[in-house]
Amino acid sequence: PIQQDLAGQHWVITAGPTMEAIDPVRYISNHSSGKMGYALAAAAQARGASVTLVSGPTQLDAPQGVKRIEIKSAEDMLSACREAMVKPADVFIGAAAVADFRMKEVASQKMKKTGDSDEMQLTLVKNPDVIATLSQENTAKCMVGFAAETQDVIAYAKSKLERKGLDLIIANDVSRTDIGFNNDENQVTVLSKDQQWTPPKESKSALAIELVELITQYQSTK
């Protein structure tokens, strides 16, 4: 049996893509499968934490014993997280791939091809940064983000750690086709302000167990 040492703690974890409507039938999204975030939710729950999983659209079943809240857009994700953390959570993990932009105005009817132009322009506006907002609002004692990067992975991750006010950031090289988005395996580097850890490449579920342990150890030193 797994030790229930996280009993009494509340962890809030985001997972999957967001889906930003263009019109009633189209949307902007990305390749996140939710596997990484769901594995983290299962690993924290297995150690006794009460887990709220705020999830974009995925093919996955909610892990046993985890409370899942399903959302579509980044704005909905932010509201659902705030609601889950009215009482501050112990840990927040942002594993979701949140769309940085949404339509300025969602068309109320299906957009039509116009006969006279081969081009089409969509006007987008910035979405709220879910994790940076929650971090500013002190909604969790320990804030953990991911950084999906295709180049200068560590440097960009470090700057996100600072800019978004996080305790830890999990840097993911998404230029590699053998890890990251939609794969069953992943390899990451975890960074704090002054330390860094690189667990081996392994299944997302094995990695999630190690990440939950790392976060738990970091929490105890805070």
Name the residues that contact ligand PMT, by CB under 6 A.
14, 32-36, 74, 94-98, 100, 127, 129-131, 145-148, 160, 172, 174, 180-182
Could you give the CA distance from residue 46 to residue 36 in angstroms, rounded to a whole number? 15
Could you give the CA distance from residue 44 to residue 4 in angstroms, rounded to a whole number? 10
Kindly state the smallest distance separating residue 34's Cβ from ligand PMT, in Å: 5
Q: Are strands 140-149 and 188-191 parallel, antiparallel or unpaired?
A: unpaired
Kindly state the smallest distance separating residue 81's Cβ from ligand PMT, in Å: 9
Output 33 or 139, the one with its CB closest to ligand PMT.
33
Catalytic: 186? no
Kindly state the smallest distance separating residue 83's Cβ from ligand PMT, in Å: 16
CA proximity to 73, closest of 99, 52, 92: 99
Output 15 or 46, the one with its CB closest to ligand PMT.
15
CA–CA–CA angle 137, 143, 148 (5° rounding): 115
100 is annotated as contributing to ligand binding: yes
Output 48 or 154, the one with its CB closest to ligand PMT.
154
How far from each other are the two terminal CA atoms of the chain, in whole angstroms? 28
Q: Which of 30, 127, 182, 186 is catalytic?
A: 30
